């Protein structure tokens, strides 16, 4: 008996995703361990892998099988959703030629490599040529996908990271936050001025002790080191594969909190990846549901949980023990004031959760303007400085603290940035629903027992993979679609009570 078109597609996409996993590990190695002299060879390897993946998707037989499987019908919910996700990947791929995919991959590698040196030397001019080349190719991709998807060029890029996401919806959410945050920030700053100032623990904080503390808290949260690693990179990230999750961070011996919170953020990503539905491993429906939801899981762990007073009740003694320290600066109440201190700053990854949305809005507006052609890459530093001055009242003194601080654009990830704030909103919404559904979650966090929370997330988010749209998943889990109300209520409780 011959296999059905759907079963043949499953085998085809399993091979595709194995190649994707191989590329992910190569990219991790690029960012953490690869010697500089390996850059050109690695660029060629990644470009070749992407071309092979593109070839699988654009093979005429793939389109024929998708059509035949759709005509067959009779699929249950999971296979039907899998077929939908297969078709989505196929639509994105068939909009592009193999030559464009290859050229884009090479330009991404070249630009990201140049960015590393440019950031270290705060020299935007040295990476500008690479960025212009990459941006031209990204715009070519956006135009091609725009015609296929029937959306704007920017929305075509956004759809890669946030399936079915649209800029008009993002604009509405960001306008709501812009109406709320400036006055709220002023109220928070006044409130903090009346409170005792937080005392910063005195360093230095040796890297080996920072790492040991991070590992201890990662394990408490449920990270499995038999299926993952913690390493160092220029920009923190979570990569690798579902069975081999790679987390990176960067250390500052004068401030252990920055690295630690970065690790906990990436641990949220890792926990999501590891808990995806095992029955659908190797199929598109078994993948995480977009970066908005992915960021919700990292920000739920970092912001909702690990900056809470309950978590610090558990973690403060571990922090003091890790550095052989004692005294008022290491007490729970002081560390809570330190971890929830609000102060506008230049660096996104170190920003507090009140001002963080402004960092995202700046990037969203700039990348939108660059995709539409309203902003040239050469004018990015000045536009960046102006936007930061308008939204946060700060202007960087150098490009490393300005438009070079993030790797996303230089790695070709255009359309990604809005998902950070969409994720922050979803995180507040999901955590609110979880704690209302299970009264054991908050007491558990204060004891270092995260099983009640992770159990709720597994049931309502992680185990769903890409079965549901982001909207439908949020409705099922929280009773409503994405709503900034829970995020604003959370900020008020934490920062004004």
Q: Which residues are catalytic?
A: 266
SS3 label, residue 139: helix
Beta carbons of 364 and 417 less than 8 angstroms apart: yes
Distance from C-alpha of 241 to C-alpha of 180, rounded to nearest angstrom: 39
Q: What is the DSSP letter of 301?
A: I
Distance from C-alpha of 468 to C-alpha of 283, rounded to nearest angstrom: 15
Please count the CA atoms within 13 angstroms of the CA of 442 that sit on its side-chain side. Answer: 12
Nearest to residue 466, comparing CAs of 294, 237, 287? 287
Q: At what angle do helices 60-72 and 39-58 cross, to 10 degrees?
A: 40
Show Cβ contacts of residue 208 under 8 Å, excluding neighbours closer than 6 positions. Answer: none
SS3 label, residue 402: coil
Beta carbons of 119 and 404 less than 8 angstroms apart: yes
Nearest to residue 356, comparing CAs of 226, 239, 185? 185
Given phi > 0 = left and psi -120 to 50 = alpha, else beta, which region is 250?
A: beta
Query: Which whole-number Å values give the CA distances from 377 to 53, 371, 373, in the listed order?
Result: 30, 10, 9
Quick one: how many helices (H) and strands (E) in the chain?
20, 3
Q: Is the peptide bond before 217 cis (omega within 30 degrees of 0)?
A: no
Query: Which whole-number Å values give the CA distances from 200 to 101, 312, 326, 337, in the listed order?
Result: 49, 15, 12, 10
How many CB atoms are closer than 10 A to CB 216?
Answer: 15
Distance from C-alpha of 302 to C-alpha of 351, rounded to nearest angstrom: 12
SS3 label, residue 152: coil
SS3 label, residue 231: strand
Distance from C-alpha of 163 to C-alpha of 172, rounded to nearest angstrom: 18
Beta bridge partners of 249: 232
Beta carbons of 158 and 167 less than 8 angstroms apart: yes
């Amino acid at each position: 008996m011959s296999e059905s078109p759907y079963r043949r597609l499953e085998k085809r996409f399993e091979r595709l995703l194995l190649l994707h996993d191989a590329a992910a590990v190569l990219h991790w190695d690029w960012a953490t361990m690869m010697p500089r002299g390996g850059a050109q060879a690695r660029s060629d390897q990644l470009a070749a892998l992407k071309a092979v993946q593109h070839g699988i998707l654009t093979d005429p037989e793939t389109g024929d099988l998708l059509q035949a499987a759709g005509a067959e019908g009779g699929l249950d919910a999971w296979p039907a959703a899998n077929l939908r996700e297969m078709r989505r990947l196929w639509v994105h791929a068939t909009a592009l030629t193999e030559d464009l995919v290859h050229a884009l991959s090479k330009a991404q590698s070249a630009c990201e490599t140049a960015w590393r040196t440019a950031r270290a030397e705060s020299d935007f001019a040295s990476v500008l040529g690479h960025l212009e080349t990459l941006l031209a190719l990204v715009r070519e991709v956006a135009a091609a996908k725009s015609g296929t998807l029937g959306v704007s060029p920017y929305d075509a890029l956004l759809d890669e990271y946030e399936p079915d996401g649209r800029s008009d919806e993002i604009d509405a959410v960001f306008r709501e936050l812009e109406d709320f945050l400036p006055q709220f920030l002023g109220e928070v700053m006044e409130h903090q001025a009346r409170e005792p100032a937080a005392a910063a623990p005195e360093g230095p904080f040796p890297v080996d002790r920072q790492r040991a503390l991070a590992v201890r808290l990662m394990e408490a949260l449920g990270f499995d080191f038999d299926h993952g690693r913690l390493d160092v990179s220029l920009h923190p990230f979570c990569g690798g594969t579902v069975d081999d999750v790679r987390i990176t961070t960067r250390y500052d011996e004068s401030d252990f909190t920055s690295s630690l919170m970065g690790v906990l953020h990436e641990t949220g990503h890792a926990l999501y990846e590891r808990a995806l539905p095992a029955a659908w491993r190797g199929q598109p429906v078994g993948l995480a549901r977009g970066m908005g939801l992915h960021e919700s899981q990292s920000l739920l762990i970092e912001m909702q949980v690990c900056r809470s007073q309950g978590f610090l009740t558990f973690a403060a003694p571990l922090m003091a023990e890790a550095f052989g320290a004692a005294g008022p600066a290491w007490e729970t109440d002081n560390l809570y004031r330190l971890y929830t201190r609000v102060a506008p700053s230049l660096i996104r990854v170190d920003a507090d959760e009140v001002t963080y949305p402004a960092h995202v809005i700046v990037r969203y507006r700039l990348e939108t303007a660059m995709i539409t052609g309203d902003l040239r890459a050469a004018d990015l530093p000045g536009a960046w400085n102006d936007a930061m001055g308008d939204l946060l009242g700060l202007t960087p003194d150098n490009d490393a603290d300005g438009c070079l601080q993030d790797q996303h654009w230089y790695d070709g990830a255009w359309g990604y940035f809005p998902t950070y704030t969409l994720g922050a909103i979803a995180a507040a919404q999901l955590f609110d629903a979880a704690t209302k559904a299970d009264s054991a979650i908050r007491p558990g966090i204060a004891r270092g027992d995260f099983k009640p929370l992770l159990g709720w997330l597994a049931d309502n988010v992680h185990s769903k993979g890409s079965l549901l749209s982001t909207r439908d998943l949020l409705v099922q889990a929280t009773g409503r679609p994405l709503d900034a109300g829970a995020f604003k209520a959370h900020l008020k409780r934490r920062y004004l009570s």
